[in-house]
Structures are given as C-alpha cells and as structure tokens.
Amino acid sequence: MNRIFSGVQPTGNLHLGNYLGAIRNWVRLQQEFECIYCVVDLHAITIEQDPQALRAATREVAAGLIAAGIDPKKHIVFNQSQVAAHAELAWIFSCVARLGWLNRMTQFKEKAGKNRENASVGLYAYPVLMAADILVHKATHVPVGEDQKQHLELTRDIAKAFNSQFGVEFFPLPEPQIFGEAARVMSLRDGTKKMSKSDASDYSRINMTDDADAIAQKIRKAKTDPEPLPTEVAGLEKRPEAANLVDIYAALSGRTNADVLGEFGGAQFSTFKQSLADLAVHVLGPIGAEMKRLTTDPSFVDAALRDGAERARAIATPILREVHDIVGFLRP
C-alpha cells in the first residue's frame, strides 16, 4: 500500500512558486495515492513566530491546499501540533539519530547563519521531526523539492538505524516522489532569485490570493530585456527573466517551453505578457477567490483540520504504540 506524506510550512503569502512547485503536484497525487498533507506548525516555531500570525498562516495554508483542489474528506489535511504522536516520535528519533548526521545538514547551516550559537535547538533538530512526520504514518512516498532531499535521505537513515538497532523490519524506507518537471519559479523582479514570500517587493511574486487586476499588473511590470522572445529554447540562455516568464507560461498551460516559443517566438514581451496574464488569471483566479472565501469564515477550514487530525491520529497512534513496545517502554 502506497501512502504519500508531505508537509508545508505555515507562511503567509502563498505564491505562484508554492503553487507550481508543490501544491499543484500534491493535488495530482490524490488520484494515485492515499495522501496525508500536514501544515507543519511545530516546524514553524523553530524560528520565532508571532502567535496571531502563526494561527492565521496555518489557516491560510490549509485554505490554499483545499482551494487548489485537495479534498480533505478523501485525503487528510491537518496541522502537525494537533497530533502529538509527531512530537513524541521525534523525541525517540532524536535518540537514534547521530549528531554527526545532523551536523551535515546544509539547510541548518543556511538558516542558522553566522550566529549558530544562538539558533534554537529545535532548528537543529528540525530534520528529526520531519523524519517523525513521515514515519509515524509509515509513508512510502514523499513529494519534496530539491531543498528537502537531504532531509529525506536522513529520514531513510533514521528508519534504517531504528530497524537495525532493534532488529526489526518496522519502518519502510520512504522514497522521494519526483515530478517530471517541478517548476522552479523565479522572482518577477530578478530572474536569478527564487520567488519568495519574504521578498520586500510584492511585485516580485504573484500571490495565490491576488485578484485579476493585481496579477495582470504584476506581469505587465515584470522585468524583461529589450529583445523579442527567441524562437528556440537555446535562445533563453543568459536571459533569466525571459526564461522565467516562458517557464511560468509552460507550467500554467501544461506545455513545453519549445511549444510556447513555437507560438510566441519573435513576439514582443508586451504581447506575450498579455497572454501570460490571461492564462495566470484563468488558473489562479478561481483558486484565489476560493481561498478568500475560506479564510473570511474559517469555520470550514477549522473543521476540516480537526477532522483531518482525528484521522491522522487514528493512523499514527497505533504505530507509535508499536514503537513503544519495540523500544521497551512499559505498558502496564
């Protein structure tokens, strides 16, 4: 039986990069797998969060997943903190994982920056919690982006180490679920930087909740170069902004870059941007409207998360109980 687990950080400003890079793929996976999608609020507090903003972001991300087409009745959508088994297994795993393994995690080094002494213990142990997220559900497949591959590798190491330490074949070794072409969406202001929620300029990104006017305006103002679009894909080299807009068009329309350039090669950006704006509005408009509806009255999202947590608990609790037995915890 194949089971998908993936997690997403509760951050405000879900944007086109989140949609094309992850969420859209999560929607598709529902057809083939049993899917568990988790808003990882425990991971979020590894860096300081404003409590009100965290609550709002948790709802917004859950609303985004549901608005994009994840069915919280057929599959599971929940927030991590509601299922205590995650944190509990993370403790047990922190006694299996080795300092040396965590010392190699590149994301910690990036996130902790220069002042590593001042990083939280949680930030350091972050990948251990991620391993617990996946394995407490015995997930077999995990859709992750490039930046999380090392953490998934660590998850496999922890599963192997646990199995071998206790002489069991208990945890599966989860596989990364790679997508044909996970779109990497860059900033609309700088084609060499990833589109990011934390970029100071709102014009750098298309938010999932932007309305049609905002989407069109941001695309119109997107940075380009003075040349018309090339007719061949090779012509996009060293033209990061042009390449990004073509990538976005291709991803939104499900076409290849070559195909898009077959239609727009030789055209001026003004023409291409108009078509791109129409396409983006067509795809994102209904999702953004639904997100707004779901966040205005959060009762639906809250109920979906509560129900999701209950069903997640029903999967995780018996697995955790077996772990207790394997480890030797007394159950009188």
197: annotated active-site residue: yes
Residues ≥6 apart with Cβ < 8 Å to 11 = 44, 57, 61, 197
Q: How far is the CB of 131 from ligand TRP (least distance, A)?
A: 8
CA distance 311 to 36: 10
Bridge partners (DSSP) of residue 176 are 142
CA distance 17 to 196: 8
Is residue 59 within 8 A of residue 26, CB to CB? The reply is no
- Strands of the sheet containing 141-142, edge to edge, are 76-79, 34-39, 3-8, 141-142, 175-176
111: annotated active-site residue: yes
Q: How far is the CB of 136 from ligand TRP (least distance, A)?
A: 10
DSSP three-state, residue 37: strand
Q: How far is the CB of 143 from ligand TRP (least distance, A)?
A: 7
Q: How far is the CB of 152 from ligand TRP (least distance, A)?
A: 7
Q: How far is the CB of 319 from ligand TRP (least distance, A)?
A: 15
Residue (of 183, 179, 177) closest to 5 by Cα position? 177
Q: Nearest residue by C-beta to ligand TRP?
A: 7
Nearer to ligand TRP, 22 or 242 (CB): 22
- Among the options 74, 109, 111, 138, which is catalytic? 111
CA distance 24 to 10: 17
Nearer to ligand TRP, 22 or 261 (CB): 22
The site for ligand TRP (CB under 6 A) is made up of 5-7, 9, 40, 43, 130, 133-134, 142, 144, 148
Nearer to ligand TRP, 77 or 245 (CB): 77
- Among the options 109, 149, 160, 197, which is catalytic? 197
Please provide residue 38's backbone torsions phi and psi, each rounded to the nearest 5 degrees: -125, 130
Is residue 18 within 8 A of residue 104, CB to CB? The reply is no
Is residue 88 within 8 A of residue 129, CB to CB? The reply is no
Nearer to ligand TRP, 119 or 267 (CB): 119
Nearer to ligand TRP, 146 or 225 (CB): 146
E strand or H helix that includes residue 38: strand 34-39
- Among the options 73, 109, 194, 238, which is catalytic? 194
- Which ranges in 136-268 belong to alpha helices (H)? 149-166, 212-221, 240-253, 257-264
Nearer to ligand TRP, 80 or 187 (CB): 80
**Catalytically annotated residues:** 111, 194, 197
